[in-house]
Amino acid sequence: MNLMTRDAGMSFPPISAPPVLDYRAATPRASSRLWRALRLGDRYLAVLCLALLGYALGGRGFAYWGYNPLFIGELMLVIGAFVLLRIGVLVHVLNLRAMLPLILFMCWGAACTIPHLQRYGRDAIRDAVVWGYGTYAFIVAGLLIASPLRLQKIVIYYRKFAYAFLILAPFFWFVCTFFEEQLPTFPGGHVPIIQMKGGDMCVHLAGVFSYVVALGAGMNPWIAPLFVPLNLGLNLHGRAGMVSFCLAALVSMLLRPFHPRAMRIFFVIALGLFLLWASDLRIEKGARELSFRQLIEGFQSIVADSDDEALHGSKEWRMKWWTDIVNYTVFGDYFWMGKGFGINLASDDGYQTSEDESLRSPHNGHMTMLARAGVPGFVLWGFVQGTWGILIVRNYFRARKRRHLNWSGVFMFLGCYWAAFMANTTFDVFIEGPMGGIWLWCIYGAGIGAIYLYRRYPDLLTPMPNRAVQPVGYAPSAGPA
């Protein structure tokens, strides 16, 4: 099988067929207990992928599936921690040098949370998920290290996710737009079982776009060009969504200029914009509207002042709050530990806009870190994300230089997806909840796992004869990454 073609994505052996790198053949004497542990990991990975699809489509409503205080995100976290212990790779994951920044960041987050537990109780735990969900990174990385073939499964699972997300998202948008008040709620929850957010949807559209360009050679040629612009038009009504999608698309085009699959999508988007301008069509959704003029106003508000009072007022409100946070941390009394996890920042800083005080954090995840964990926590946060980004970029260019195009596609996809998350969290409350937090740390863990596997098993996505991949649970582990 020749993988050295321009569109090598998805051309590695399918999981449903006997894989070229069959670790079962490499470990015939493995105990039944360890085999059961591996099967448990496979099942957990499949359920986790379904949960991520639920978060992408159902948004905040899906996050409340369960019974207060044990919702689906916390339940999957507990089960995932058990699976990680069961498959026997926790120590190996903790020894990875690439995980050290995250370990330091989570320790500092705990130091900024524990002193506030007695006073704020459940609120402290709820705010602490912004670092606590980092546990998912260890879980996902451990699953990949324990069974390298799971990386192939993840690539194929995301292909199925892309189809499901693109096709189902318009239906979910229609239900949430016109029938939100009729939707039921779960016991202990206070929002409908489905509650979509435009900016969050655009982040996942950015991920789908990147996947189509990087690894979409075997996908239907018409699904993405038709449904990416459609979903983008339905959800592109804010700065966060615009920046997220445009950033991922820009990076994708810089890495693979004028790629045919990207060009088809861009052509349909340009055609839609032309029709929107020519027809002067306006579709109102709440306080926002979808129109050509509104899109131009949104882009202008990102880099300059806008004539739209709502957009300009929202930007000015954010900038004032962020300036106050910088003043009382970098130049104030909260330099070292911040205000901690548990306090309602919006109320304490004087920027509360909700009568029920549901707004707790500034519309910027990076400023949330600064306000709650102080300057050291903010620096550690930047260190965590910066080192991961550098590792992904370095491995992308290494794989491209070696013409391992499936591998370069994986690193490109993960990097663009991560960039969309970073852009969205700069303008919105995103990673502070399970809808964005769980997704971000799963991508982070998948990146660490992919880097580890590429070093040790480069033929995993670029097969060569007589190469066996052994799960860590059955063989002496290699040294730290």
pLDDT score of 112 = 95
pLDDT score of 155 = 93
pTM of the model as a whole: 0.87
Q: Is residue 70 within a helix (H) or strand (E), and if so which, with residue range?
A: strand 70-71
Q: Which two tokens stand for residue 53?
A: 């699809």
Q: How far apart are CA 431 and CA 425, in angstroms?
A: 6
Q: Is residue 67 within a helix (H) or strand (E), and if so which, with residue range?
A: strand 66-67
Could you give phi then psi for residue 245, rounded to 5 degrees?
A: -70, -45
| Burial call 5-15: b when 16+ CB within 10 Å, e when fewer | eebbbbbbbee
pLDDT score of 464 = 42
Closest CA to 153 of 312, 354, 15: 15
∠ at Cα 229 (227, 235), nearest 5°?
A: 100
Q: Is residue 59 within a helix (H) or strand (E), and if so which, with residue range?
A: helix 32-63
pLDDT score of 198 = 84
Q: What is the 3-state secondary structure (H, E, C) of 318-332?
A: HHHHHHHHHHHHCCC
pLDDT score of 6 = 40
With beta carbons less than 8 A apart as the criterion, state whether 142 and 93 touch.
Answer: yes
Q: What is the 3-state secondary structure (H, E, C) of 230-286?
A: HHHHHHCCCHHHHHHHHHHHHHHHHHCCCCHHHHHHHHHHHHHHHHHHHHCCCEEEC
Q: Which two tokens stand for residue 381?
A: 């946060």
Q: How far apart are CA 142 and CA 207, in angstroms?
A: 23
As a whole number of angstroms, the longest Cα–Cα distance in the chain is 71
With beta carbons less than 8 A apart as the criterion, state whether 14 and 156 touch.
Answer: yes
Q: How far apart are CA 240 and CA 237, in angstroms?
A: 9
Q: Which two tokens stand for residue 6?
A: 């321009």
Helix (H, G, I), strand (E, B), or coil: what is residue 404? coil
∠ at Cα 15 (12, 17), nearest 5°?
A: 95
Tens of pLDDT along the chain (481 residues)?
A: 333 334 444 445 443 333 333 444 444 444 576 778 788 999 999 999 999 999 999 988 888 887 776 789 999 999 999 999 988 889 999 999 999 999 999 999 999 999 999 999 888 998 999 999 999 999 999 999 998 989 999 999 999 999 999 999 999 988 888 887 788 887 666 788 888 888 899 999 999 999 999 998 888 888 999 999 999 888 877 778 888 999 999 999 999 999 999 999 999 988 888 777 777 666 665 555 666 666 666 666 555 555 454 554 577 888 899 999 999 999 999 999 999 999 999 888 888 877 777 788 888 999 999 999 999 999 999 999 999 999 999 999 999 999 999 999 999 999 999 999 999 999 888 899 899 999 999 999 999 999 999 999 888 887 544 444 444 443 333 434 4
Q: Which two tokens stand for residue 304?
A: 């300059």
∠ at Cα 366 (361, 370), nearest 5°?
A: 80
Closest CA to 89 of 469, 360, 451, 449: 449
pLDDT score of 474 = 35
Q: How do beta strands 288-290 and 283-285 pair?
A: antiparallel
